[in-house]
Structure 1
């Protein structure tokens, strides 16, 4: 009989982790996912358990029965030092098999934080990191290369394909001020090309953007649509896109864009999510200045170079962002630690 797997989520359960949770659920006797029920509202059938939480925001204190972890064959934690429920159990039960899942060592240079991080890394038995750069930083920090596997942060896109849309520039995701979508307004007015924004409002940002578009004189070129979750509808939206624009911040939108061969246009010098590392000069338009007009102009007026970026974006998705790679990263950890699973060969996964 296969063992029991626990997963400690720093926030709620992200909906885009569903494909991995389903795979793990089919491979273990039982899975229990403890979460804080904030930021993300995904669910995992009857196998998730909300922590008892106090306070709010980044420093929310979450509590669960730590001794339930005694029955675990392995414990995966999305380590966040601001969320003690993701690391205090490591100190209490250091002999259990701990696998950290996250972006890497972080940038905080505080002596206390670095000391605590070293202790937790010493306790851990493995690390599933989001990017190759995260892997490199872990090794520089002194973590064993043999204990690291890379699982690029990704989405399961059943209908991914190379597209060649020419109708509009596109943004899909939460409509937030940090995305700096208004940086495109002057350019789309000059180029007379539409910007389609698909996503939910955040802090009344859509109203602010409508005012700015009106002031710029391009309100007829900016269209807002409600969030889309259906795969077929998303494919239709991306299939008609020239490029995916998120000037001020990029995250998982990069994965969706690359899944349909749509290059990304963004500023380089911003506080991006780890997915920014997927972007390079071959598959994206990385803007050094705060003027995005030249990049959008190139999208429209250099078709040969633009299509090469499309091909490179789609190729990156196929080679690096496949769900098979994510499965491999986790099951390599389990196998290395001698944990029995009912693993389907990833080569058989469509």
Structure 2
């Protein structure tokens, strides 16, 4: 009898998702299919994982994607996990022909548009709704979206994965004592008392790099330093700022451990996503702006609880006032809460178990 397997389709497998697939494969027979080439992944400043995947030929016409569905129709695949994206024509084809191929289909996505979040949290997207109506269930990233979709489809198998990153357990174990931290600052020639760290790609303007520059110019350069990790087409020129330490892309764990450990606060003005999980695992309080039409935030924004593990700001003026009042003990307390949230619900094992629960 042929072994029953599941097939998971994703654009690519970035390094932060590698452990998720490995753990899934340890628990059941699974093939991962990708349709993006390495050049596309590199252009988005992703580090490709070493996980072996099967390639699907694809054609992209403006925003619409068509990939080869025939490998997925093999009898060996009982369950398909497909992207919950209404621009993927092939996913629609597999959903519509479900009575013929009789495969279980789980949709995987945020369940909401980051760009249209304020509208869709009240009025869910009708195309996403139509897709879920045809599917058997969905993996979403956050509890908030699970509650929203369960209210519409109470009988569907919908689960929040609680999105996290590969290697999060190792990040949680990172620790330096006071003398070691002083030595690291000296090693990197960093002298400012309070350090804000930014670690994300400079790949789209929704991350509000203008607010990052305004913050650098607003704060006292003798007191506040900025550690920058990341590259991308929209990266500002940090050379004029002597209190900015730009490290570009950093994938070496020891260097990242050092930089996050000497930082006091994780600061990303907008479009805050999975990077927040890494920062929280390092025990950093999170500083960002409240979601609004002007400042878009990804779904992981909901890991931040105001005054518990971070600060949600209304405007740039409030930032300066807030930082001037924050005591070191308050930063440490919020950082401890960040770490506790990761330990309680954002371990990779938890994410995998949530995913498996509806397969």
User: Shorter chain as normaliser: what TM range?
Assistant: 0.7 to 0.9
When the two structures are superposed, what TM-score results if normalisation uses the length of structure 1? 0.81
CA positional deviation for 1:30: 4.2
Q: 1:187–1:296: 8 Å Cα contact kept in structure 2?
A: no
CA positional deviation for 1:145: 6.0
Distance change in 2, residues 1:147/1:308 (3 Å):
same
Instruction: After TM superposition, list the pairs within 5 Å mapping 1:198-347 onto structure 2.
Output: 198-203=229-234, 205-207=235-237, 209-210=238-239, 214=240, 219-268=241-290, 269=292, 270-281=295-306, 282-291=308-317, 292-299=319-326, 302-334=327-359
CA distance in 2, matches of 1:105, 1:285: 24
Matched with 2:161 is 151
CA distance in 1, matches of 2:57, 2:92: 14
Q: 1:167–1:241: 8 Å Cα contact kept in structure 2?
A: yes
Greater shift, 308-317 or 37-46, is seen at 37-46
Distance change in 2, residues 1:182/1:75 (3 Å):
same
Q: 1:261–1:310: 8 Å Cα contact kept in structure 2?
A: yes
Cα deviations across residues 18-37 of structure 1 (Å, max 9, x unaligned)?
A: 11111222233341413234
Distance change in 2, residues 1:60/1:105 (3 Å):
closer
CA positional deviation for 1:60: 4.3
Matched with 1:8 is 9
Distance change in 2, residues 1:249/1:288 (3 Å):
same
Distance change in 2, residues 1:118/1:286 (3 Å):
closer
Distance change in 2, residues 1:87/1:18 (3 Å):
farther
Q: 2:267–2:286: 8 Å Cα contact kept in structure 1?
A: yes
Matched with 1:66 is 70
Distance change in 2, residues 1:287/1:145 (3 Å):
farther
Q: 2:150–2:156: 8 Å Cα contact kept in structure 1?
A: no
Cα deviations across residues 157-215 of structure 1 (Å, max 9, x unaligned)?
A: 22314768765211112135433221321343366221111111323x232x44xxx3x
Q: 2:82–2:91: 8 Å Cα contact kept in structure 1?
A: yes
Distance change in 2, residues 1:187/1:296 (3 Å):
farther
Distance change in 2, residues 1:298/1:91 (3 Å):
farther
CA positional deviation for 1:317: 0.9
Matched with 2:48 is 42
Q: 2:222–2:243: 8 Å Cα contact kept in structure 1?
A: no
CA positional deviation for 1:105: 4.6
Matched with 1:104 is 111
Distance change in 2, residues 1:115/1:68 (3 Å):
same
Q: 2:287–2:311: 8 Å Cα contact kept in structure 1?
A: yes
When the two structures are superposed, what TM-score results if normalisation uses the length of structure 2? 0.79
Matched with 2:184 is none
5+ long unaligned stretches in structure 1: 335-350
5+ long unaligned stretches in structure 2: 182-192
Matched with 1:139 is 150
